[in-house]
Chain A
Amino acid sequence: AQKITQTQPGMFVQEKEAVTLDCTYDTSDQSYGLFWYKQPSSGEMIFLIYQGSYDEQNATEGRYSLNFQKARKSANLVISASQLGDSAMYFCAMREESNDYKLSFGAGTTVTVRA
């Protein structure tokens, strides 16, 4: 079974607008970690933001915030005030003890920011 589902293969967003990238996950662990990574066209994997399953507050890092809805098992990434440099592929990932803390990735969402 797929552990991480990203249902949006591609999205377009206007510069300066906000965009939400969907991520749902599947785990029966109580303790797990959720991560978002950015992969620009240059190919590197850049860590953006982390949310722990026990964290009560939604994580924020600059223009990135994570909309964590534990009961729905969703961890959507919100990018505010989009910039041209945000055009990239975004991956949601999860670490869980029952999976030996391996990082399981979703299929990714490609974001294209339009001027």
Chain B
Amino acid sequence: DTAVSQTPKYLVTQMGNDKSIKCEQNLGHDTMYWYKQDSKKFLKIMFSYNNKELIINETVPNRFSPKSPDKAHLNLHINSLELGDSAVYFCASNGGAGSRETQYFGPGTRLLVL
């Protein structure tokens, strides 16, 4: 039943490690996103994919690399993790690019870098 799912829900790791977060949506949406929510709860878009193609890439360090194997999946790989990467990462999806399209969010992945 879950519309947008993410794994893992919690991720605790050491500085310098490489980790991945997976996202899947079963809504049949074409567009998927990654957002970062910092400690002050501010939400900022990182990436957007439309039908497996990258369409938005905000000024995110290139240690972050999204990968979309198909339009239902958008994974986020992070290399050489830093303390400042600690945040909640949300995956989201919507059906199209119009201003009317509602984005639905996954449950979030809480990343803590020690």
| A interface residue numbers (CB < 8 A to B) | 29, 31-33, 35, 37, 39, 43-47, 50, 52-53, 89, 91, 95-97, 100-103, 105, 107-108
By beta carbon, the residue of chain B nearest A89 is: B41
Q: Check if A96 sits within 8 Å of B99, measured CB to CB.
A: yes
Cβ-based interface call for B68 (8 A)? no
Q: Check if B99 sits within 8 Å of A33, measured CB to CB.
A: yes
By beta carbon, the residue of chain A nearest B55 is: A100
Once bound together, how far apart are the Cα atoms of A96 and B101, in whole Å?
11
The answer to whether residues A101 and B102 also contact, given A43-B107, A44-B108, A107-B42 and a CB cut-off of 8 A, is: no
SS of A interface (majority): strand
Q: Check if B99 sits within 8 Å of A47, measured CB to CB.
A: no
Cβ-based interface call for B49 (8 A)? no
User: Interface size of B by Cβ–Cβ distance < 8 Å?
Assistant: 26
Contacts of A97 in B (CB 8 A): 99
Partner of A32, one of B55, B99, B104, B105: B99
Contacts of A43 in B (CB 8 A): 88, 107-108, 110
Once bound together, how far apart are the Cα atoms of A76 and B104, in whole Å?
21
Knowing that A101-B99, A103-B103, A105-B44 touch, tell me 8 more A-B residue pairs with CB under 8 angstroms: A44-B105, A45-B105, A100-B48, A101-B98, A101-B101, A102-B48, A102-B56, A105-B42
